[in-house]
Chain A
Amino acid sequence: MKFKLLAQSVLFGAGLLMVGLTPAQSQTREESQGMVLLRGLPTLDTDHSIAIVELDPESDQFGELLSEVEQPDIQHPLHHLYYSPNGRLYSTGLDPSCSLAEIGLSRDSSGTPVIEGFTCLDTQGQIVGEDIMWATSNGQEYMFVTFMGGTGGDDGGSVGVFDTQTNEVVKIIEARKSQVGEGEPYIMYPHGISAFDDRMVVTSTIHPDMTTGVGNVLTIIDLNTLEPIQNIVVENEKPLDFPSSPVEVLFARPDMHADIEPAILANTMFGFETWKIPYDADSKTFGEAEVIYSGVANETAVPLEFYGTEDELFISHGLPGVVKRYELAALPELVSSGPDIVADPGAHHMIFFTSASGRDLIAVQNNLLNLGNAADDDPTDVDFIADLNAHTITIHDLETGERIAEVNFKERYNKGVDNVEGLFGSGFVHHH
């Protein structure tokens, strides 16, 4: 989940609340600019790239790439963007040669943001980086990264613990199902990650090759020992006859909103469900997992991301391509706060910003993984996923959900769009 802090103290740079703008100030507003990871499409002979795109439909530059750095030497693209609490930009990556990278950003003498390039980091053999979060273990802050491929193998998967200053690996949290004892907690294909107090949760999603194996559990990690301590099964209906494949996870907690009772929320990619697992912070125990949203019953599939604003929680559903919205204060229950935001197939990541005139907007990136589109002869081995790639970012009125505009990256740039993040993310705290 990406949760916007309410605190005034962190609203400094992103400028989410733009009031009383002078024309000169309006020219330099940046919160409508998105940092995107673009994937070159093999049939269209384009390279993967990192870019900055203008997403305010009121801007003359709407849809333009303001800065772009291509990655011609990397077979698979970068995957997910995250800003550290100190404002450093990182990206996980799908290519074994670059599973984690730090991206250099600067400004030229006109103030224009510039992508300077990226540096692939040593992950000590961990591959297929997914999500990142910064959390504290025994008073020391670390960068935690899920690697869905781990150090390889049929039941691989690891959580890399990195030094926040040097980016060096401090520890690899790994527990292969084939190597731990019967009933002992394991980590396999981890993707989503979230934490509260001294408990971290990661999901068990799917082997990176999409065929070898699929997970159906959450793994709880004790942040005191940095060891897995419990698995929680989150599987009920099997509409695709696959294991449930929990993907993104959110540890709902009181510092998001004072009324929230702690609980884990988890979306299952192939079960189409959202699960709730209550947490008792005093006894440090988890209650029984239960389904609180059924995609089968509601005719939605592939629930993916959790995002938060001051008062709402948003969950994207890849099919039919909608973002559902809920009262933040009501968590961990899902109490609707309004009609669905109808985006495009593959509805996935999102950012929130205001237009030049002050209209609150949401931009939704609509590609599950951009593995290709069979109709266009793009390569894919999983037809179901191929249907989830609209290659667009759609922009909607945040209050009404009205669709205002879209940028179709395939039509305009011959590329897919894998991820979007606010240009200046230090006003956000990221918790997948």
Chain B
Amino acid sequence: MLRVFLTAAVAVVIAATAWVFWDRARGPTATPIAGFSAPFVFGRFAVPPDNPLTQEAFALGRHLFYDPSLSGNNQVSCATCHMQALAFTDGLAKSPALSGGELEFSSMSLINLLWGQERFFWDGRATSLEAQALMPIQHPDEMDQDLDALITELQASRDYRRMFRKAYGEVSAENVARALSTFMRMLISSDSKYDRFLRGEVRLTAQEEHGRKLFMAHPDTKVSLRGGNCIDCHSQFLTSGFRDALDGFSNNGLDSDDDLPDGLMAVTGNPAHKGFFKVPTLRNIAVTAPYMHDGRFETLEEVMDHYNDGIVVSDTLSPLILEADNAPEAGQGTVGLRMTPDEVQSIIAFLNTLTDEGFLTNTQFSNPFEGDG
């Protein structure tokens, strides 16, 4: 009897050991994202062939995104400045810098990054999401982490070794970038009231519909067309900047030539790009205050005041903004849309339809280290 028991025990140990070795030796598992479906109207998107969307990469990326061990002091995670409830912004004009003071730009929301402009950061300094992902980690005022030290830390974690193995094979900085990119690519917001309107599921209120029409129209007094001119920079469905070339960057009249920051020019070296910043998505805009690249406007009303009567002319100001005027005959000596208060409120009402509560509370995007994540 004892011999039988021992034989069985040895067999179990051998089998378990073999499974462990086999599991560690086998290549990554690429499980397609279950039930993935994106709105057709959002348009084409491309995922890098060497980083397809998989469940394993998403799970790893989600853990990394929320893990403060990605920072040098083990206190700052990506989520510190990108909070889900705030559409992955932080509610601050500029995030605090590790060395004191504040960072140069406002924290950008992370929404629908599969579409729109393929340069990242306000000034477009990253040409892929994978390139973008490692920059804040290494930035001395953001997460201040040495990549070699980070990889050593991650390799010391059995959980991470397992997740990296399943997703990509090995623990490496490249695969950190890939996993974070996959997580960010999956942050799809497509169930706002506007989305449901587009699918024919709900109606907008009269004020929201008025705002939608104004949003989509470039004013033309010759044919009595009033417009908010928003769509000239924020595309119809995604409400983000345009994808092709550098169309997704613009100077929207915030500063004079004397005060104009470099913006995209710092990346391209082209003086025509001075003061150009990335046109952000307006999805969930109601929860991402303060606004603009430097967070100078506290409310959507302030934003609309800027476009309505506060445009500052500079050499690189967008001509689409410069010429958009609903009442050019008014001759007020200022540049702006000159819409009525009702029209302004209608556009804000439409912007509020872009809030996607399901996205802001989706547990798949939440902190996996909390609750049952």
A residues whose Cβ falls under 8 Å from a Cβ of B: 7-10, 12-13, 15, 17-20, 24-25, 27-30, 86-88, 105-111, 113, 164-167, 255, 424, 426
Contacts and interface: CB of A to CB of B under 8 A. Distances in A.
A87 B198 contact: yes
Contacts of A27: 46
B203 A165 contact: yes
Interface in B177-215: 197-203
A105 B43 CA distance: 11
A109 B53 CA distance: 6
A15 B245 CA distance: 11
B31 to A, nearest CB: 11
B236 A29 contact: no
B216 A9 contact: yes
A28 B200 contact: no
A110 B53 CA distance: 8
Candidate in A20, A86, A113 with the most chain B CB atoms within 10 angstroms:
A86
Q: Which 5 A-B pairs have the closest CB atoms?
A: A87-B41, A105-B40, A109-B36, A12-B235, A28-B46
Interface residues of B, number: 40
Contacts of A20: 244-245
26 contacts: A9-B216, A9-B232, A12-B238, A13-B44, A13-B235, A13-B237, A15-B44, A15-B243, A15-B244, A19-B245, A20-B245, A29-B44, A30-B43, A86-B41, A86-B200, A87-B41, A87-B198, A88-B198, A105-B40, A108-B37, A109-B53, A110-B47, A110-B53, A111-B45, A111-B46, A426-B236
A166 B238 CA distance: 23
A106 B39 contact: yes
A37 B32 CA distance: 30
Contacts of A106: 37-40
A23 to B, nearest CB: 11
B358 interface: no
B218 A108 contact: no
Contacts of A167: 200
A245 B320 CA distance: 46
B322 to A, nearest CB: 15
Contacts of A30: 43-44
Contacts of B242: 12
B48 interface: yes
B43 A7 contact: no
Interface string B109-140: 00000100010000000000000000000000
B10 interface: no
B319 to A, nearest CB: 11
A165 B204 CA distance: 10
A8 B47 CA distance: 26
Interface in B225-279: 231-232, 235-238, 242-245
Nearest to B201: A165
Contacts of A113: 40
Contacts of B203: 165
B40 A87 contact: yes
A255 B52 contact: no
B236 A107 contact: no
A10 B45 CA distance: 18
Nearest to A13: B43
Contact of B36 (A105, A108, A165): A108
Contacts of A105: 40
B2 interface: no
B221 to A, nearest CB: 14
A428 to B, nearest CB: 13
Contacts of B41: 13, 86-87, 426
Candidate in A10, A109, A426 with the most chain B CB atoms within 10 angstroms:
A109
A129 B115 CA distance: 35
B197 to A, nearest CB: 7
B231 A9 contact: yes
A424 B43 contact: yes
A152 to B, nearest CB: 28
B363 to A, nearest CB: 20
Candidate in B36, B41, B203 with the most chain A CB atoms within 10 angstroms:
B41
A216 B202 CA distance: 42
Contact of A12 (B43, B53, B200): B43
Nearest to B185: A109
B25 interface: no
B333 to A, nearest CB: 28
Contacts of B236: 9-10, 12-13, 426
A12 B237 CA distance: 9
A73 B197 CA distance: 31
Contact of A25 (B33, B46, B114, B235): B46
Contacts of B245: 19-20
A9 B116 CA distance: 14
B223 interface: yes
Given A9-B218, A424-B43, A109 B200 contact: no
A426 B44 CA distance: 13
Interface string B92-119: 0000000000000000000000100010
Contacts of B52: 109-110
A87 B232 CA distance: 18
A424 B238 CA distance: 14
A10 B231 CA distance: 8
A8 B218 CA distance: 10
Contacts of B202: 165
Interface in B11-70: 32-33, 36-48, 52-53
A27 B198 CA distance: 28
Contact of B33 (A19, A29, A109): A109
Given A106-B39, A424-B40, 4 more contacts: A9-B216, A86-B200, A109-B32, A113-B40
A164 B232 CA distance: 25
Contacts of A88: 198-200
Contacts of B218: 7, 9
Given A105-B40, A107-B37, A107-B38, A19 B216 contact: no
B46 A24 contact: yes
A311 B31 CA distance: 49
Nearest to B33: A109
B200 A165 contact: yes
Nearest to B54: A109
A25 B43 CA distance: 13
Contacts of B36: 108-109
A206 to B, nearest CB: 33
Interface in B295-311: none
A24 B48 contact: yes
A90 to B, nearest CB: 11
A27 B37 CA distance: 20
Contacts of A18: 244
Contacts of A17: 244
A111 B115 CA distance: 10
A28 B223 CA distance: 38
Contacts of A25: 46, 118
B273 to A, nearest CB: 15
